[in-house]
Each structure stands twice: as structure tokens, then as C-alpha cells.
Structure 1
Amino acid sequence: MCRWLAYSGSPMLLDAVLYRPEHSLINQSLRARMGVESINGDGFGLGWYSTEGDGTPAVFRDIGPAWNNRNLMELAAHVRSRLFFAHVRASTGSAIQQTNCHPFRHGRWLWMHNGAIADFPRLQRDLCMAVDPALFPSIEGSTDSEVMFYLAVTFGLDQDVPGAVARMAGLVERLGKEHGVENPLQMTIAVSDGERVWAFRYSSQGKSRSLFYSSKAEMVRQLHPDLDFLREASDETRLVVSEPLGDLHGVWNELPEGSYAVVPSGASADYFPFVPEIHPGDPLVTAGAWRG
């Protein structure tokens, strides 16, 4: 599996989050504590939004391990962003190549995933047939994660993020059952349009991979006034991570099984229930029929 983080808040140098914390993502690429694998060295990727440009994110991905990549260290020390993704990969069987490294990008959207579709080769053809034909040429790699992304785009990501992800998950589960695949879906997903981050935690078995979100910056400052990098952070600054970046009391909250979070949420609740959705029309009748 993999480890990832999503940051949203005041513009910050990437290395403040990627390298400096006690149990940073770079540290996790070598010594993950909660992942299926302790080493995540099958590639890495960054995706970030700039305050300039057309609103589409930049992406930097490579096939080597993150812990010894000098270009990554150089870039992280000089790029400042208000919203960025970072991912370190442990392949579940697909090739180690740049096009299989996360995050994936389509237009203004970024997507990254930890988990797997069980017996993906058995389901791959049917899943790909449900992708909008106009989107299919954009799939560059061979991972289940990228197919999941383009299914979500097909099913209306632009109009309704939770609904599109729920319909994608519902299709995977239906096809899994048809092909005799027990517990077909395992996922923690982050997706962003450059304004907000949505994070999902779900598995068919009800035993999802770990996922945590940080408490509001104001609360963290009160608990830990010595954290330099949060002194100028806005109250809306939040992190969503596969595993905590340190052992600081009151900072990390586990996202419950079968739920999703939105950052910034604009709501009183930190998270909401997530349930896969089976669309009455069924997407395999006409590929792309769910698009808004």
C-alpha cells in the first residue's frame, strides 16, 4: 500500500510538512508505522496549486524512493503552496513507472489513493468500459487508482464530489460481487479542485487503511505553542494524513470507518458518513451515462 498527506491552509513551504516533522512523510517512506508495508519506495509524487496561473495544479512524480531524491528536497525547500498533495508509493502489483505514481491530475483536479481493488485484472475491462469514452485516452498508467479517478470524473466529480466517489465505489462493489471477488474495495482517497480537499475512508470489509485529520490550527497552537510552522497559519489550516506526523497530544483525529471529510468544510461537523451508491441506470448500460 502507500502513505500520503494533503495540506490546505496558509501558503507554506512544502518541506515544512514533508521533511521537518518528527514522523514526516519522507520518514514514513522508510519507516511507516501503520501501513501494510513499512517501506514505501516504489515512487512518489507531489501535486500543488499556485496562486498564479490558470488554476490547474503542477505535478512532480518519479519512480525512485522519496527518501534520497535530491530534486524533491530542492523543490520542497523552494515551493510554497496553500494546497498540496504528497504520496509515497508501495506498489500492489502494477508496474513501477512515472505514469503509475500519484497524484493523478485531470484539469483542475488532483487525486491520490491508498488501497486496492481486489483482483483488479478480473474487473479491469468492465471498469474501463464504464469510463466516458472522451476521458479514456487520458488514462496513462495501469493502476486501479487511476481508473477509479476517471470513473469518478465520469460520474460527475465536477458537480458532486461525494456522490461521484460513492457511485465509483458502488460500481466496484457490484462488479466485484458479479465476478465472485470477496471484499473488492479498499480505499483512502484524497481529491481536490484547488479550493477544497475531500478525503474518504472506506473498505468493503469494514477494515480500512488508517487515515487522520488534524485539529484546527487555533487549538493546536494552544496545545503546542512551540510549533514554529503553525504560528502564522490560518485557523482553517488542516492536514489529512495516512498516519500522524508525530505523537503530539490533541493534534490528530482518526477519520472513522465509512466516512469522508472536507477541508475547509464550512460546516459544524468534521466528517460525514460515506456509503457506496448503486445508480438505478447502471453505468454499463451506456458508458458515461452518469455524467452531469
Structure 2
Amino acid sequence: MCRWAAYRGNPLYLEELVSSPAHSLIEQSHCASRAKTATNGDGFGIAWYGDHPEPGRYRDILPAWSDCNLRSLARQIKSPLFLAHVRAATNGGTRRDNCHPFVHGRWSFMHNGQIAGFDRIRRRMEASLSDALFNTRTGTTDSELLFLMALEMGLAEDPLGAMARTIAVVEQLSLDQQLDPLVRFTAAFSDGDTLYAVRYATDHRPPTLYAAPMGGRTGHCLVSEPLNDDIDAWMEIPDGSAVTVSEAGMSTVGFAPHGLAEAA
């Protein structure tokens, strides 16, 4: 399973999540403590928002711990909203196009999880895309395909609803192929203004997700696992939840594939 960190708040240097903390994302890339696989060495990526609507992005197939450029960039780039990811491949080979975050226009997306039987339903998932979105697909992962499906289903207008509809379609496609549906999905995505995250699994065993205040009155950090040993500072986000971090702060609602529960 992959590890990731996302942030929205007052501008911070990326190193404050990526490389400086005791259990930074780079540290997690070779010594994760709350994942089935301790090593996440199949590439990495960062996406950050600055003066332009579209995010900047840097990805490579090297393990995060061995890329000196990542530490240098994280020390120099300061942003009010960014996503960072280290990959342990489950679907798709080790190539740059398969490294997260994925971007389209002003949207960025990264994911930790899997779709059981993905090879059996991949073509049907791709068939749900318009030609325009299908032609933007450059990698082979289930993660990129989930992102494109969410864009097709209205991510720009209804971000959490679009993600709920996407997972519902995937589960139904599995049923149509007489498979036991199993989606494990902990993801973060953003339009450069608001940061969203979802923690959900068909079998109620999703990858972990934690949140902590950071970067001013309304700022928050969302992570796969805490960045330090101050356990009391980190709140675990429950299974079946969607998180929104905006100028108003952080809020959490229930999340289900066919719709959203009332605000928590």
C-alpha cells in the first residue's frame, strides 16, 4: 500500500511534511509503520498550487529516499495546498506515468488502495469515459482511471458526490462480472482551492487516514499515517468518511458509494 500526505492552510514549505518530520513521507517510503508493506519504493510524486490555477508537479520512478532532487525541491517550494505520495505498486508497472499525483486541468488526485479483479473490469471502466477523457489516460493504474471516471461524473461540480458515484459504478461492474465487489479507497484530491479526502472500503477495512491542525487557524494536514510520535495531535478519520478542508476549516461527513450521509 502507498503512503501520502496532503495539506491546506497558510503557505508552508513542502519539506515540513515531505522530509523534515521524524516520520516524514520520505521516512515512510522505506519504513512505514501502519501499512501492510513497510517499503514504498515504486516511485513518488508531488503536486502543489501556486500563482497559476493548474498545479505544478514532479514525479519519478526512483524511491523517494534516493532522489536528491525531491529534498531540494521540498526545501524551496512553499505552497498553501499540496499533495505528496510515495508508491507501492499494486496495479501498473513502475513508470513515471503511473506515479501519483495525477492531474487534469486544475484538479489533482492521489490514492492508496486497490480494486479487486481490476483486470476483469478495466475495459468496462474505461468505456465509461468520453473520448476526450479517455485520450488523456497515459498510465495503466486503477488510480488514474478512478480519477478520470470521477471527472466524467462531475468532479468539478460535485466533488464528493462524483467520487461516490464512481465507486458505486465500480462495485456494480464487479457484480456484473460475478465478482465479489471489493474497493479499498483512501484518496485525496483538490481543485487548488479546497482539499478533499475520502476513506472507504467495501469490506470496512480501508487504508488508514489521519488529520491534524497545521498552518494557521483553519489549516490542516491529512496523512496516511502520523508524521511524528505526538499521537494525541492526530485524529483518525473513520471508515466511510469524507473530509473537506477549506477556508472555513475542516469538516467531515459520512461517505457511501450511493450518496452522502448527513454532516457529522
TM-score by length of 1: 0.86
1:82 counterpart residue number: 80
Tell me, yes or no, if structure 1 residue 106 matches structure 2 residue 87. no
Matches within 5 A, 1:196-211: 196-211=194-209
Residue in 2 that maps onto 1:222: none
Range with greater deviation from structure 2 (102-111 or 242-251): 242-251
Residues 183, 203 of structure 1: 8 Å contact kept: no
Aligned to 2:48: 48
Task: Decide whether the 8 Å contact of 2:5 with 2:17 is kept in 1.
Answer: no
Report the 3-state secondary structure (helix = DSSP H, G, I; strand = E; otherwise coil) of the residue aligned with 1:8.
strand
Equivalent residue number for residue 70 of structure 2: 72
Q: Of 252, 255, 261, which residue of structure 2 is paired with 1:271?
A: 252
Task: Assess if the C-alpha contact under 8 Å between 1:3 and 1:28 holds in 2.
Answer: yes
| Alpha-carbon shift at residue 249 of structure 1 (Å) | 4.1
Q: Judge conservation of contact 2:12–2:80 (CA < 8 Å) in 1.
A: yes
* RMSD value, Cα: 1.3
Q: TM-score, normalised by structure 2?
A: 0.95
What residue number does 1:136 align with?
Answer: 134
Distance change >3 Å, CA 123–CA 275, structure 1 → 2: same
Deviations 1:72-100 (A, max 9, x none): 11111111111000000000041100000
Once residues 245 and 199 of structure 1 are traced to their aligned partners in structure 2, the CA distance between those partners, rounded to angstroms, is: 17
Which is further off, 11-20 or 134-143? 11-20
Amino acid paired to 1:275: A
Matched residue type, 1:245: L
Q: Once the two structures are aligned, what percentage of the paired residues are identical?
A: 41
Which deviations, in whole Å up to 9, do the C-alpha atoms of 1:17-60 show, x marking residues without a partner? Answer: 2111111111100100111200000000000001x23x100110
Decide whether the 8 Å contact of 2:198 with 2:241 is kept in 1: yes
Question: What is the SS of the residue equivalent to 2:225?
Answer: coil
CA distance in 2, matches of 1:43, 1:203: 25
Residue 123 of structure 1 aligns with which residue?
Answer: 121
SS of residue in 2 equivalent to 1:272:
strand
Q: What is the CA–CA distance in structure 2 between the aligned matches of 1:83 and 1:196, rounded to whole Å?
A: 8
String of CA shifts for 1:84-130, please: whole Å, max 9, x gaps.
00000000041100000000000000000000111111000100000
- The 3-state SS of whatever aligns with 2:155 is coil
* Aligned match of 2:225: 243
One-letter amino acid of the structure 2 residue matched with residue 91 of structure 1: A
CA distance in 2, matches of 1:132, 1:36: 36
**CA deviations over 1:219-239 (Å, ceiling 9, x no partner):** xxxxxxxxxxxxxx3111110
Q: Which amino acid aligns with 1:270?
A: S
SS of corresponding position for 2:37: coil
| Deviation string, structure 1 residues 156-177 (Cα, Å, up to 9, x no partner) | 0010001100000000110111
The equivalent residue for 1:230 is: none
| Structure 1 unmatched ranges of 5 or more | 218-232, 279-292
Alignment of 1:1-292 (within 5 A): 1-50=1-50, 52-53=51-52, 55-214=53-212, 216-217=213-214, 233-264=215-246, 266=248, 270-277=251-258
SS at match of 2:12: strand
Secondary structure of 1:140 counterpart: coil
2-structure distance, mates of 1:139, 1:33: 32
Q: CA deviation at 1:270?
A: 3.0
**1:68 shift after superposition:** 1.3
TM-fit CA distance, 1:265: 6.8
Q: 1:40 to 1:122 in 2, by over 3 A?
A: same
Question: Where do 4+ consecutive residues of structure 1 move more than 3 Å?
Answer: none
Map of 1:283 onto structure 2 = none
Structure with the largest fraction of strand: 2
Q: Which has more radius of gyration?
A: 1
CA distance in 2, matches of 1:93, 1:135: 20
Aligned-partner residue type, residue 25 of structure 1: L
Provide the C-alpha distance between the structure 2 equivalents of 1:137 and 1:184, rounded to a whole number of angstroms: 27
For residues 182 and 265 of structure 1, what CA distance do their matches in structure 2 show? 40
Count of paired positions: 259
- Does the 8 Å CA contact 2:91/2:142 hold for their aligned counterparts? no
- One-letter identity of the residue aligned with 1:34: R
Consecutive unaligned residues in structure 2, runs of 5 or more? 260-264
